Amino acid sequence: MGVLTRSGSVCYLGVQVSGTIPPKATPLRPIFGSMGGLCLSELRKTLGPVFRVKAAGRESTYIASPSLINAIYKDPKNFQFLPIRQQFTQDVFGIPHEISFSKEILSEYFPSHTRVLSPKGIIPILNRYVSYAHQELHATLGSRWDTTVALKEALLIPAYNAAARTFLGPSFPAEKTYQDFNTFNNAFHIITAGVPRFLLPGPYRAWDRVVSHVKDHVSKLRERNEEVTELVAMTLDECERHRWLGDNPSAMLAADLWALEANAIWAVYWTIVYLLQSPHGIAPVVAEIDRARENWISTHPSIPLTASTFPQFLEDSMADFPLLTSCIHEVLRLTTSTFSIRRVSNQTEFAGFEFKEGDEIICTTRAVHVDEEIYEDPYQFKMDRFLDGQNKFQKDGKPVPNHLMPFGGGVSMCEGR
Ligand code: HEM
């Protein structure tokens, strides 16, 4: 799963080397904050691109080179993501073992999920998102142009509400879940590190309340005669067919709410923050959008550009936003700290090291994103970094095709990308 860097990370600087297993970093001093990238660069310099780290009692192997990460992504038979997704479904989102590890979740539910978010399936969903985002921003900012509003309030809450309503339905009480969602999400890195449920009563109670809002919403959909969204319809249908009853359908939808909100709303926020802080501010991007709008209006003289035709404008004008696209890539490069995890399914040799079945491998895409050989001044935000040719991103004198991997890679690449 991807995590935008605002949560804790732990830094290790010591070294232990032994035989054919990757060198191990021993913890010297834990550092909390957004230092993950710096630490990883240090570790890669000291230990090489494959090293082991033990955190919260669990040892994982970190891979910090683009070519090795690519090799892992290309070998889903030996390096699997699905068992990790199943483990998360059970341990983090509380779906019982007999569902999380059922053969139906693998053969039916996950593939149906992929279909809902497929390039074709996502189009009506995206169009709805555009309208809801427009409505939410209007409701938050529309009447307040002459007052000062905290950027987080102005961006995160509308982005959260719009995404929640897009996927769960227009009557979903998104605003009632925002606080609890954050309480849970802020503890997510400790939860995934394996800290048991009883030590985190606050975050888990908050999550139970989110699930209960989803349950209440879903139970009232029929009596409200509201159109059921693609994701809700698919989930209810799968759960009914496999008799995954009780709280399970709502818990599964809430897990989706986590996946779709946890990173995306922060990407919106950081894009605006970095733009505002850059030397020319937001003006070059606004000018690009104005040009695209004028161009669209002149080529569609009979269609007024309104909230309802806005999705069409966006679809028609995709190629007209190179600077905005570059900004978004740059923000994802600079702020994501991805947990792209794979489990070793068979004993195997990789990069000169032995791995046994069950070993956990973490593709540290952030190490690639802040590699100074690939990116000049990697910790600086440069809005035009991705404007021209992708071949300029090189390492060891060769182009690095996978220089940007905020959504992971291979067959388990993020479905929401
Ligand atoms: C900026 C926003 C996002 C980022 C940075 C992000 C990042 C990631 C990453 C790194 C993975 C793991 C992929 C791998 O290990 O190769 C992942 C998986 C996933 N993401 Fe996202 N994600 C984002 C938004 C979304 C959204 C909006 C949705 C849903 C609409 C979503 C749904 C999923 C799902 C379902 C998976 C599991 C894929 C699988 O098992 O094959 N993500 N995401």
CB 200 within 8 A of CB 257: no
Q: How many angstroms does the Cα of residue 408 sit away from the middle of ligand 1?
A: 8
* Residue 23 Cβ < 6 Å to ligand 1: no
Burial of 152 (0-12, 13-18, 19+ CB in 10 A): exposed
Q: How many angstroms does the Cα of residue 219 sit away from the middle of ligand 1?
A: 27
| Terminal alpha carbon distance of the chain | 12
Residues near 351 by beta carbon (within 8 Å), at least 6 away in sequence: 49, 50, 63, 68, 71
Which atom of ligand 1 approaches the CA of 342 most closely? 15
* Residue 414 Cβ < 6 Å to ligand 1: yes
3 pLDDT band, cuts 50/70/90, is very low
220 pLDDT band, cuts 50/70/90, is very high
Domain locations in the chain as residue ranges: 16-78+345-412, 90-263, 267-300+315-329
pLDDT in tens, 117-172: 999 999 899 989 988 998 898 888 776 677 888 888 889 999 999 999 999 999 99
Q: How far apart are CA 231 and CA 218, in angstroms?
A: 12
Most ligand 1 atoms within 8 A of CB, residue of 125, 407, 413 to mutate: 407
CB 95 within 8 A of CB 109: no
Which atom of ligand 1 approaches the CA of 410 most closely? 16
pLDDT in tens, 339-363: 799 999 999 999 999 999 999 999 9
* Residue 85 Cβ < 6 Å to ligand 1: yes
Burial of 275 (0-12, 13-18, 19+ CB in 10 A): buried
Please check if 414 is assigned to a binding site: yes
Q: Tell me which residue has its CA closest to atom 40 in ligand 1.
A: 412
pLDDT in tens, 128-139: 998 899 889 888
* Residue 407 Cβ < 6 Å to ligand 1: yes
What tokens appear for 319 in the block? 């190629």
* Residue 259 Cβ < 6 Å to ligand 1: yes
Give the CATH fold of the 16-78+345-412 domain. Answer: 3.30.43
Q: How many CB atoms lie within 10 A of CB 28?
A: 10
> In the prediction, which pLDDT does 238 show?
97
pLDDT for 15 beyond 60: no
pLDDT in tens, 230-263: 999 999 999 999 999 999 999 999 999 999 999 9
